[in-house]
A and B are shown apart, each in its own frame.
Chain A
Amino acid sequence: MSQFIDLSISQLQAGLKKSEWSAVDITQAYLDRIAKLDSKLKAYLQVTTTLALDQAKVVDRKIAQGKKLGSLYGIPVAIKDVLMTKDIFTTAASKILKNYLPPYNATAVERLLAADAIILGKTNCDEFAMGASGENSSYQITHNPWDAKRVPGGSSSGSAAAVAAAECRVSLGSDTAGSIRQPASFCGLVGVKPTYGRVSRYGLIAMASSFDTVGPLAPTVKEAAQVLQVIAGYDSCDATSQDQKVPDYVKLLEQSPKKLRLGVAREFFSPGLDNKVATIVKQALAVIQKLGHQVIEVSLPNISLGVATYYIITPAEVSANLARYDGIRYGQAVPSQNLYEFYTKTRGQFLGSEVKRRIILGTYVLSAGYYDAYYRKAVLAREAIKHDFKKVFEQVDVVLGPTTPTVAFALGEKTTDPLAMYLADINTVPANIAGIPAISIPCGLSNGLPVGLQLIGPAWSEGLLLQLSAAYETARGPLPLATVN
């Protein structure tokens, strides 16, 4: 495995082309590494050993026969367990979907398969993607490869831990309030939340349908771009998918961005921000400024209320989206004498506490007498935050700041205080509210733990964000990887 552990997508494929190794070699090496590490790391809920090796053999045959290969051929990927994978158990890390076998692939998964990627398995996450630490999974708690006593972040906990520990090369996650970017920041990875509508949500188990997005986690900007290239684009199966041309993200990385106006929003540097994180992020901003860009202080006056806005609208959507988990058509069930008890006992027994909390909260804010006071107000508040970004992007091209207020926190630190856990997403949730793209890229270490720099752009600006991130990554130089043995 050690020969593959540091090799990028391009390097792995260069070796495949020269027959230095095979896709089966790469796949077996990664599977061996999972077997060695994952009993402690717990990134994977399921490892699809036979399927992965079969896929690798197909790739090797295609190479031998000189057939056309997809752009991710031979590359080991992991899939967050909220994305449907045909005939592979998909649970959303919930007991209510134990042993559920989807009849179709999510579009993002289908596109990875069409690109000849090798799926190693399904990764752990917070139940139904509800959480910011990974601790809400109903199956197991994933550990941060940088420090096993700390969270990897959530909700894409397993997807982040697996990439950081080289248990796959890249992974897919989902991001509704920061669930790709925050674990990317905690685990020293690049994480991309695309524009809402950029990547199909078909086959993504819905949490909050107006916020959910699918995106990549990868060790480098180029590799994140390579995955995004494959999964982005219109899909008629997703009513909110936008028919917007997909640029050649990978080609864009070959050029440095033109001189940009970069906004540093003062609200991202609020009192809750850890001092060391602030220092490291400011050092990163200085590196970017030296690349020839103009840095301007800006204000997004309403984003500090993003969490409040989000935690009205999202539970409302959750309460509707999770109504389908009633044990009737799929999933686990508690046999009962009448239908009402069937529903209540099934959902009561098999849904976890955070899920129940959000369903109850969502039902409350949508109920008669409270709808106007909460939900309708939150929908208006969402517009105010969108307006903040619209105004700022008239002055600047990209907004930068820390991805998270702290580095990875300790396991158990926030589990007894739901509100404290919600506030972990204070810097990431505004981009979801506005539906705009954002990237987290590692910018340093604080006491040995990764710090993430977040770049936010206007809708459809993934190419620019990736370009700027790549330029910063080159200027920053290499950062150490997590050491996991």
Chain B
Amino acid sequence: MPITHTDIEHLAKLSRLQLTVQEISQLTNELANILDYVKKVNELASKVTSQSELTAPALRADQVSGFMQNDQLIVADKADNNKLIKVPPVFGQDK
């Protein structure tokens, strides 16, 4: 099923991206080409039949430890004197 302008607009909403009309049009064409190319992965996917064949890198143990540098992560001009970050209102917004 070809990708449409409406699809791109919906994806833009999901990804919180404001796109111009020109960008929507361009992305519609470009994504159609890219998706047409990448769908060939279906050829490979059929050769791996079992989920158990999936490999992943070993991760370190998920141990919780304290983080002492909170202050450093708050960029000065984004926060007020109490180190609270102010954001625009969430409720009552029009989408």
Q: Which residues on A are within 8 Å of B, measured CB to CB?
A: 100-101, 103-104, 196-197, 210, 236, 239-242, 302, 305, 307-309, 311-312, 319, 323, 326, 328-330, 336-345, 347-349, 351, 353, 356-357, 359-361, 363-364, 367, 373-374, 376-381, 383-387, 418-419, 422, 435
Contact = CB atoms under 8 A, between A and B. Distances in A.
A319 B14 CA distance: 10
A385 B44 contact: yes
A242 B85 contact: no
A216 to B, nearest CB: 22
A363 B10 CA distance: 10
A358 B60 CA distance: 29
A381 B95 contact: no
Given A340-B95, A364-B7, A367-B11, 13 more contacts: A100-B75, A309-B44, A319-B15, A328-B78, A337-B93, A340-B16, A357-B31, A360-B31, A363-B14, A364-B3, A380-B44, A380-B54, A383-B53
Interface string B6-37: 01100110111111100100010011011101
B45 A381 contact: yes
A102 to B, nearest CB: 9
B95 to A, nearest CB: 5
Contacts of A381: 41, 44-45, 48
B47 to A, nearest CB: 5
Contacts of A196: 57
A329 B85 contact: yes
A418 B18 CA distance: 21
A326 B38 contact: no
B93 A341 contact: yes
B78 A356 contact: no
Q: Which 9 pairs show the lowest CB-CB distances between chains A and B?
A: A348-B18, A338-B93, A381-B44, A103-B72, A377-B45, A344-B18, A343-B16, A380-B45, A381-B41
Given A305-B44, A338-B88, A360 B11 contact: yes
A386 B55 contact: yes
Contacts of A422: 34
B38 A308 contact: yes
Interface of B: 3, 7-8, 11-12, 14-20, 23, 27, 30-31, 33-35, 37-45, 47-48, 53-55, 57-60, 69, 72-75, 78, 85, 87-90, 92-95
Nearest to B18: A348
B57 A363 contact: no
Nearest to A86: B72
A382 to B, nearest CB: 8
A305 B40 contact: yes
Given A242-B58, A312-B38, A360-B15, A340 B78 contact: no
B38 A311 contact: yes
A419 B33 CA distance: 8
Given A236-B60, A305-B41, A311-B38, A338 B94 contact: yes
A210 B44 CA distance: 19
Nearest to B56: A210
B48 A380 contact: yes
Given A339-B88, A359-B17, A360-B8, A311 B34 contact: yes
Q: Give the dominant DSSP class at A's interface.
A: helix
Given A328-B87, A330-B78, A361-B31, A347 B18 contact: yes
27 contacts: A104-B72, A302-B47, A305-B41, A308-B37, A308-B39, A309-B44, A330-B75, A337-B88, A337-B89, A338-B88, A338-B89, A339-B89, A340-B16, A345-B18, A348-B18, A356-B17, A363-B11, A364-B31, A367-B11, A367-B14, A377-B41, A378-B45, A379-B54, A381-B41, A381-B45, A384-B48, A387-B48
B33 A239 contact: no
Contact of A344 (B16, B23, B72): B16
A351 B58 CA distance: 33
A336 B16 CA distance: 14
Contacts of B74: 329
Contacts of B33: 418-419
B86 to A, nearest CB: 9
Contacts of A197: 57
A180 B60 CA distance: 27
A180 to B, nearest CB: 19
A177 to B, nearest CB: 14
Given A328-B85, A339-B90, A384 B44 contact: yes
Nearest to B13: A344
Contacts of B73: 103, 329
Between B73, B85, B87, the greatest number of chain A beta carbons within 10 A of the residue's beta carbon is seen for B87
Contacts of B11: 360, 363-364, 367
Contacts of B31: 357, 360-361, 364
Contacts of A239: 59-60
A476 B65 CA distance: 52
A339 B53 CA distance: 43
